[in-house]
Structure 1
């Protein structure tokens, strides 16, 4: 019951800390600004909670490629109808369904399904596209003298994009080569009167254009994977440092108890030849302290209020030692037990907020003031980073900018009991609020 009460109190306190201004000079937002801020935060917070950068980029590419397939089908419809005059209508329908049928499905599953489903649908779309090309020799029994190339030749990049989304780069490159060869042979079947040089040119053009799209997607996915790896390494490193610091604090506390209580009591006892009331009380107090130390729950993987403040201060000053760092604590209500991984997440998000400010908040002609305020109360912690720099419009931030959506808000959303908020307006500075309200 007591633990439940403390957890409820922590949540209530975290909520109240979010509603209470943390700086005496802070002023409430008026209604239009508040609504713009909320819209901006919502726009940046629509990511899946458990996804990393690699999964997010996969989801975005899947949706974009699926929509591109639908658009390509609409754009090519006049040419498909024109070339369909030379083949039975059922073969034209088969080709269109095989070439474009799975791309709308890819767009839909990219919105709400997992990465494996997205990759499987993308792989099926890539194979289906090759199937459409394989149908060409059967469908075009007679040559088409009016056509410059078969319509499938112009949309080979769709199949390549689906392939690179579904498979590893070597398989995607192999698909590109096979698809370019199929498209060149499809032109040979449709046109009949062509030369080897023209056939080689068709292959080179199809492969070259598709290779550009292939490289862009491979590079983007590799960059996202590097972001995930670096984030995991930094989190593990910060957790290890914080855990070591916690264990060192316990050793120092025990060493201080031995020196200040046990050894001093023994020394006084050796110097005092007779019974002394003062010595008796000192010995009783030492025994009580030892008993408390033995019976206390030692949590080397959790940080108390003082340790958490020091940990966050170090994270900020590693980025820029000139940033003002202040703390607020209330005696009797600062019984913080912050898990090391939670402290690492908050520190990483805070450091990213500081770096973003240093990169983008500069104002020509004056010095930008930056402050960090840490408030600890009833098992929760609230960290506010504020600058009076250039500011920006949250709703205008592109969705592919990972600094805010992933490195700050995304980290805090993934933290159990955590939340993150960003408030900014052009010319009025930026405020980043990080809250952890669980006493775990």
Structure 2
């Protein structure tokens, strides 16, 4: 679901309603801060009007102010419906207060001119009331409310017969500029909704990653168990001579015990920690029962390790030792192995080095799983884990296992936790809705100037043109942060405008100052909201200096009112930016370590449940053969054949899962039973598409043919674009088939 920053998202399902609640709370918090700032600015005006209105009017005004102030703490604890009721009350109460304060006591009689120098203070409180309307009502209704409330004195004058003066039209145009706050609150809601949706999408991605990692680890664990505990026993039973029967029996007993234990287990309990000394003892014990000439040097320090690190390193080290026992012998003599480990809470380094015949690592056949699955893949799936295997023909093999702490974080998330929060900001403050709103405000100022069309017009128009440049610079499309060039143009236009105001005559300068201070207050609020503090605050400071100079030259105390409004807008914009920045930063942090751990644990349990089911099916096939081997002092030929076929079947499930099962598995078993050597390899990994009917038919035909003594099927071979190849060897030579 995607939203434009200019649209008011309509959120329907449960998750979207939750997002709407979050957005409403945050936007309401911002509005409450701005409203309280306005109340503080107008405190002196409110006190001056204490005796101008009846008691019931003040009771309603007090309830309105209390409701607004109450929304500040309630945004953290209350239901959104409660907040929306309070916002509705504030909007309607503000409207009622203005109407009742300006309604004449006698209707129909000639009315005196409205004294706009002493208008009821709720008319000055309109920015907050308009924002409340924008939080509760639809876009059209909120705009209608804004137009009605800002033009109330003019409307009531037309209704009750007040004289229509130039000052009345001028003040109405000035207050129409408050509609800009509706544009800001609408855009902020859209921004925060987009950010909240991005946060939800990121949370879903975390779950997807955790699920994928959990499935991968569960499969790796199952594959490693099958290889380490079952395939080796089956291989021994099918290849070793009768002289090794006792050893085969012991291996079968051990495999049955391990299989039974694995089926009873609910999955790897890898939460928590162990001491470094515990890992050292486990490594020592793993080498005790192996037929090796062992030279050990195991050292550990004080401290603790994650249990998952201890388990993974110990299992990979045991696999390396077992490989040395099997493949590094020189004749009947056991291999000589150096077993070295250095264990600290921040790192683990384990080395297994033998003096065997060695092998070419790069030429290891793809169907050999010992090094690839039990060592390399184990360590690769461990965050911070690494394995390095080097071997030289005639010299021996060295396996080095290392783990380095990843600062307590899973490396999967590292790219998301270090990004600059502002880099994820939803740009939108240069959108047409904002530019239109500010241009509308500028037009109201132009209207005020034209209403006073006299000798001042020539002095005021250049100042308005300078303000127009400032508006266009700030609201132009582009990044939220102004470039140096835009900053320079804005600063120059503001400076020229303020200097022009100081140079004008007292009457003209006063009119220019009111418009400059008010519009600069809006622009500073917008700049602060966009994070341009280095521009907003100096501009406000320049406004204050200009005010001080004007006050020193003449008594124009009412200009303090406009400067205070500008300061309140700047403070509000700054606080809004900090709140929005906090939300954007929470997106990049997205979830705490505890949440990630819970997600990973839940997905791990699901993945392990699936792998336990798969292991149960394997156990049903393997257990009868192992029990027969364990119960007999001699391995019969029929048992050897069953063990060999079962070993190859299990290898197929690991090496070529797309070819394991169904009629292809039956065809492969039949070919092996008649003596053919069958090798099935699939390099595509998880998630590959199913085979086409024609490819499956070609493979089945090759496996079923009695003319071939050796058949190799390889799917998705590296470096090739074909689906796969079939290589068959028979009396007529070698046949190669490219699968379609």
TM range (shorter): 0.5 to 0.7
- Partners of 1:185 and 1:52 in 2: CA distance: 36
**Quick one: structure 1 residues 309 and 100, their matched pair in 2 at CA, closer, same or farther if it must change by over 3 Å?**
farther
Q: Which residue of 2 aligns with 1:103?
A: 65
Instruction: Tell me the SS of whatever aligns to 2:116.
Output: coil
Instruction: Tell me the SS of whatever aligns to 2:164.
Output: coil
1:356 is aligned, of 420, 423, 437, to: 420
Contact kept, 8 Å, 2:199 with 2:590, in 1: the verdict is: no
Shift of 1:75: 4.0
**Quick one: structure 1 residues 295 and 212, their matched pair in 2 at CA, closer, same or farther if it must change by over 3 Å?**
same
* Per-residue deviation, residues 338-386 of structure 1 (Å, max 9, x unmatched): 9xxxx88x975x5455223998xxxxxxxxxxxxxxxxxxxxxxxxxxx
Contact kept, 8 Å, 1:126 with 1:163, in 2: the verdict is: yes
Structure 1 unpaired stretches of 5+: 1-49, 315-324, 330-337, 360-395, 419-435
1:286 aligns with 2:255: yes
Shift of 1:52: 8.5
2:211 is aligned, of 210, 220, 243, to: 243
- Partners of 2:150 and 2:421 in 1: CA distance: 48
- Partners of 2:98 and 2:186 in 1: CA distance: 24
1:190-229 matches, cutoff 5 A = 192-194=162-164, 204-207=173-176, 209-229=177-197
Contact kept, 8 Å, 2:24 with 2:135, in 1: the verdict is: no
Shift of 1:246: 1.1
* Per-residue deviation, residues 54-94 of structure 1 (Å, max 9, x unmatched): 35523522431441453365243366468x3xxxx42xx44
Normalising by structure 2, report the TM-score. Answer: 0.34
Q: Which residue of 2 aligns with 1:156?
A: 126
Higher gyration radius (CA): 2
- Partners of 2:251 and 2:183 in 1: CA distance: 75
1:257 aligns with 2:225: yes
How many residue pairs are counted as aligned between the two chains? 302
- Partners of 1:80 and 1:225 in 2: CA distance: 41
1:268 aligns with 2:236: yes
Instruction: Tell me the SS of whatever aligns to 2:232.
Output: helix
Structure 2 unpaired stretches of 5+: 1-18, 272-306, 313-377, 386-402, 424-573, 606-740
**Quick one: structure 1 residues 232 and 284, their matched pair in 2 at CA, closer, same or farther if it must change by over 3 Å?**
same
- Partners of 2:269 and 2:379 in 1: CA distance: 13
1:402 aligns with 2:402: no
Shift of 1:217: 1.6
Q: Which residue of 2 aligns with 1:132?
A: 97
Instruction: Tell me the SS of whatever aligns to 2:405.
Output: strand
- Partners of 2:69 and 2:171 in 1: CA distance: 30
* Per-residue deviation, residues 316-339 of structure 1 (Å, max 9, x unmatched): xxxxxxxxx94189xxxxxxxx9x
Q: Which residue of 2 aligns with 1:171?
A: 141
2:592 is aligned, of 397, 412, 418, to: 412
Shift of 1:125: 0.8
Contact kept, 8 Å, 2:23 with 2:193, in 1: the verdict is: yes
* Per-residue deviation, residues 38-58 of structure 1 (Å, max 9, x unmatched): xxxxxxxxxxxx999635523
Contact kept, 8 Å, 1:153 with 1:187, in 2: the verdict is: no
Contact kept, 8 Å, 2:236 with 2:248, in 1: the verdict is: yes
Q: Which residue of 2 aligns with 1:114?
A: 78
